Structure 1
């Protein structure tokens, strides 16, 4: 049999049970603030639990069966579609988002930690629904599938297939030999940083509700905010600096964060991707600070603060906003558009191409010139002092070519939907990179509400494609994947 469908449905049902559980976490928030959205949340959780729990119960005898890597790719892609489908129910049933394309777009944007929104007035949305909106990003940040593998030994399938499909970076960096132990440690770090940021923001003057919402969406590099003006609403240097630090940490590999918390700072500094991530951030921040200082009336500290916040927000693909970067000098608009193709570190919650891929791509390009002079010499690309295998180099090249090709074709498709060129390229770049704000009419002070329904469906697909790093989803469209002989 090509797939073990019962095993797949068993896992999908379990994931929906988790989704329903997270919906129920929003009920106390709704009841505390006395809004009527608790009914929509309860109904949504009930429907999701009924479908997920029923599916899991019917296939429960399959939970000890082995799942192949082929199954892993399919279950991850289907999981993201299913949780977005059911995750849109609170928006629909509460009336906060009355049309399905908009509700699905918002849900997919949440679970993929993109942060693009169709809401034109966020602050009128009931508190329970807004909390669910933030929670979708927190769930998606580390991956609901990794969560299931981490805390449910009942799965009994090892879990490596799911982990590699959910986070298919260059190589899976396991902190412990068993993937379940790795996932547990990642979630402990993730939860600890979320709570720490929440407390610091609360101390800094945010209400506890706002602090927990921003804590959830910062560590997920999601960028959803309960305020229309995003972080610009608070006009607080303290809040902006705290969030800048946590956005940077969220864009750093959680494996390195683990070593950092253990005090192994030398090991962190020896990591080439981290050094490149740090220096790249410093250089772009310096350029942006100078640009803001000379083209606006902001003083030196304000110029630096706006620069470092927005640079890290885009590089980490968080997407928070403290200023309209498209209103600065044209050069900075170009810089921020190019930053959408950067991405944070592999093994982080950020999207985009990732710094490690850029590093290997650049090194290989420079060495190719050396190989032209010495055609008989074996000159491997080295990363962290080790030779990078040719397979990994080819994987990086293929990823980059496919990424740019999808961006180009996607921009053309969005242009055909009736939007202007700048909006087309901006919406595709930000959706594929899971960033949030783009350029054109989907810039940092705008939203995606005005886009046609087709555009929202298409961008939702690009969000999922970018979140699962292309290959996981694209593989499903190849004849080889569906061949019994593969």
Structure 2
């Protein structure tokens, strides 16, 4: 039997937190002389519903099992999107449900795809809330990584190098809670650091804090229509590159680095692969971009920025990479399927899954020659069990099937093939820009209401590791024990 009352209490606490996080946006509205009532009313509604749920079920104290865990994760993002879109609806800046839901869920999943055609005319308070949704989503995925996913046994997280224990049938273990707290400190500290450096680089404080929030969330929402291309500053763009790269790194690796435990940093096979892959891909795309003219420094910066932005699923833009030629466009399209590191705020498949797949495939040749030999797969010096390998292989297969079927659905809705492939790939990977009519200088406003809801579902699937959502559609999930 599923403990729905315990779930309702947790949803109530979540909504109270969301209401509290709307307060800075209200303050910005007052500061800039805007109408604060859409945000105030949204804050009141969210807080009231959260308070009712929390008080009504506050006496519930039952263990959270796997079933409740899956529902909590799925409902958390859904509730946050439904209540988080209220400021956009009540202000009439985004007047339709489908558009407001798409924009808000795009923020919370840190996808960064937008339906807004003129961002700069939006009220400052709403722009700040829009950026805040991404920061909330980035923070939320860190908490899920160390507190919820180990409980659920989500694929890939078993290889996470955090100091968190394995699955537990009890509520959040104190050790997990302590780990989440440490990573939260890292997240906040890096956000503040990025904000300060953006400000020093010439951004207004408002723009700096917004970009600080969305950079560390690997979300990519900007306060400017041209995204990072608006700032023709090498300093600002290199700051963005640095913090996008850090945000795509396993936050436990960053934590060890800050403590000076560099041996632990370089013991991470995923971090080494992530770093080398970014550098290698940058070198590959550098020469064709440099051949188009301009300084070598500018060509290098463009190459590195686009690669880091797409690999970390941030989605900031400094140039239209679809104008570099079909070969480079295809390379950038393939980057939508990589993703950052496990334990980071990045979306996508994650390097640790790619690394496991490639290593296991290579070892399979050795097993063919020596069928009786025991050939273990090692990651970070530890043996990877067969169950984990199977889980990761299943994840990759389902990810590919979801991409293909999603693109087929959009094609049947009447959209051309490059646009369908690009839209599904970027939403599933939580990236933002893609190819076709959803390239770096385009947006998602032209999609039909049905297509927007469908793509919002794809975003949620990708952000919550596929299985978390798909298991809810299986009959045995709902059967009584």
Normalising by structure 1, we get a TM-score of 0.94
Name the residue aligned to 1:333: 329
* Residues 161 and 352 of structure 1: CA distance in aligned 2, closer, same or farther (over 3 Å): closer
Give 1:118's match in structure 2, choosing from 103, 115, 118: 115
Deviation string 1:450-471 (CA, Å, 9 cap, x unpaired) is 0111110011001111111111
Tell me if structure 1 keeps the 8 A contact 2:155–2:392: no
Q: Give the deviation of 1:312 after TM superposition.
A: 0.2
* Alignment partner of 1:480 out of 470, 476, 481: 476
Relative to 1, partners in 2 of residues 1:429 and 1:7: Cα closer, same or farther, differing over 3 Å? same
Alignment partner, residue 193 of structure 1: 190
Provide closer, same or farther for how the CA distance between residues 482 and 138 of structure 1 changes in structure 2, counting only shifts above 3 A: same
Q: Which residue in 1 is equivalent to 2:437?
A: 441
| 2: CA distance, partners of 1:417 / 1:348 | 34
Q: 1:245 to 1:160 in 2, by over 3 A?
A: closer
- Residue 214 in 1 paired to residue 211 in 2? yes
Measure, in 2, the Cα distance between the counterparts of 1:434 and 1:170: 18
Rounded to whole Å, the distance in 2 between the matches of 1:431 and 1:137 is: 14
Q: In structure 1, what is the equivalent of residue 309 of structure 2?
A: 313
Choose from 213, 237, 242 the match for 1:245. 242
User: Once structures 1 and 2 are overlaid, which stretch shifts more, 372-381 or 167-176?
Assistant: 167-176
- Any conservation in 1 of the 2:142–2:183 contact (CA below 8 Å)? no
8 Å CA contact 2:155–2:391 kept in 1: the answer is no
Deviations 1:274-305 (A, max 9, x none): 000000000000011111011x2222000000
**Following the alignment from structure 1 to structure 2, what is the Cα–Cα distance between the partners of residues 458 and 169?**
26
Alpha-carbon distance, 1:165 to partner: 5.1
Q: In the alignment, is the contact (CA less than 8 A) between 1:163 and 1:179 conserved in 2?
A: no
Looking at structure 1, the residues matched to 320 and 94 of structure 2 have their Cα atoms a distance apart, in angstroms, of: 26
What aligned pairs does 1:435-474 form with structure 2 within 5 A after superposition?
435-474=431-470
1:170 and 2:148 equivalent? no
Quick check: 2:142–2:180 contact (8 Å CA) kept in 1? no
Alignment match, 1:358: 354
Q: Distance in 1 between matches of 2:272 and 2:468?
A: 28
C-alpha distance in 1 between matches for 2:38 and 2:182: 34
**What's the CA shift for 1:169?**
3.7
Q: 1-side partners of 2:246 and 2:110: how far apart? A: 16
Q: Which residue of 1 aligns with 2:100?
A: 103
CA shift, 1:161, in A, is: 4.1
Does the 8 Å contact 2:149/2:157 carry over to 1? no
- TM-superposed CA distance for 1:14, in Å, is 0.7
Q: Distance in 2 between matches of 1:11 and 1:370?
A: 49
User: How far, CA to CA, are the matches of 1:245 and 1:167 in structure 2?
Assistant: 29
The alpha-carbon distance between structure 1 residues 165 and 92, as it changes in their structure 2 partners (threshold 3 A), is farther
For structure 1, the residue ranges without an aligned partner over 5 or more in a row are: 150-158
- Give the superposition deviation at 1:201: 0.6
Q: Which runs of 4+ in 1 moved over 2 A?
A: 144-147, 159-170, 172-177
Q: Alpha carbons of 1:132 and 1:168: their partners in 2 closer, same or farther (altered >3 Å)?
A: farther
Per-residue CA deviation, residues 135-175 of structure 1 (Å, 9 max, x unaligned), is 0000000207939x9xxxxxxxxx94466459764315443
Residue of structure 2 in register with 1:68 after alignment: 65
How do 1:401-412 residues align onto structure 2 when only pairs under 5 Å count?
401-412=397-408
* Distance of aligned partners of 1:429 and 1:88 in 2 relative to their CA distance in 1, 3 Å threshold: same
Partner of 2:15 in structure 1? Answer: 16
Preserved CA contact (<8 Å) 2:102 2:452: yes
Equivalence for 2:424: 428
Find the aligned partners of 1:441 and 1:134 in 2 and give their Cα distance: 24
Q: 1:187 to 1:145 in 2, by over 3 A?
A: closer
The answer to whether the aligner puts 1:50 opposite 2:41 as a matched pair is: no
Is the CA contact 2:154–2:467 (under 8 Å) kept in the aligned structure 1? no
Aligned equivalents of 1:224 and 1:463: distance in 2? Answer: 15
Write the distance in 1 (CA, Å) between the matches of 2:141 and 2:289.
40
Q: CA offset at residue 341 of structure 1?
A: 0.4
Task: Measure the CA separation in 2 of the matches of 1:194 and 1:160.
Answer: 22
Q: Is 2:136 aligned against 1:136?
A: no
Preserved contact between residue 22 and residue 129 of structure 2 (Cα < 8 Å): yes
What is the rounded CA distance, in whole Å, between the counterparts of 1:413 and 1:308 in structure 2? 34
Q: Which residue of 2 aligns with 1:153?
A: none
How much does 1:231 deviate?
0.3
Instruction: Identify if the C-alpha distance between structure 1 residues 162 and 433 changes in structure 2 by more than 3 Å, giving closer, same or farther.
Output: closer
Q: Cα deviation per residue 1:174-229 (whole Å; 9 max; x = unaligned)?
A: 43661111111111100000000100110010000000000000000000000000
State the SS of the aligned residue for 2:59.
helix
Q: Which whole-Å CA distance do the structure 2 matches of 1:364 and 1:175 have between them?
A: 25
Contact 1:168 1:468 in 2 (8 A): no
- Once residues 115 and 218 of structure 1 are traced to their aligned partners in structure 2, the CA distance between those partners, rounded to angstroms, is 11
Across the aligned residues of Structure 1 and Structure 2, the Cα RMSD in angstroms comes to 1.6
Name which of 226, 243, 247 aligns with 2:223.
226
Q: Partner residue of 1:154?
A: none
Distance 1:164 1:305 in 2: 41
Aligned to 2:264: 267
